[in-house]
Structure 1
């Protein structure tokens, strides 16, 4: 699953799939770093 996050600063925040646990597979910077596309696997409640 890929989720998109808006980020306000240059630091790399930790990403979680909302209320669930998951493993981050890939993070891609979009829109000059203002949006992060994060792909997750092994998502569990």
Structure 2
């Protein structure tokens, strides 16, 4: 079940993610374009 909505600051891609994917995205960047992201790019659903 997804708990967060991620919006990439560079490519604008929106993805619903769960906590482990959120942590991976914070560590490795946007899964679509690789842009660096921060906590502010995630909205709690």
Q: TM-score, normalised by structure 1?
A: 0.31
Higher share of residues assigned strand: 1
Q: TM-score, normalised by structure 2?
A: 0.31
Higher share of residues assigned helix: 2
If you compute each CA radius of gyration, which structure gives the higher value, 1 or 2? Answer: 1
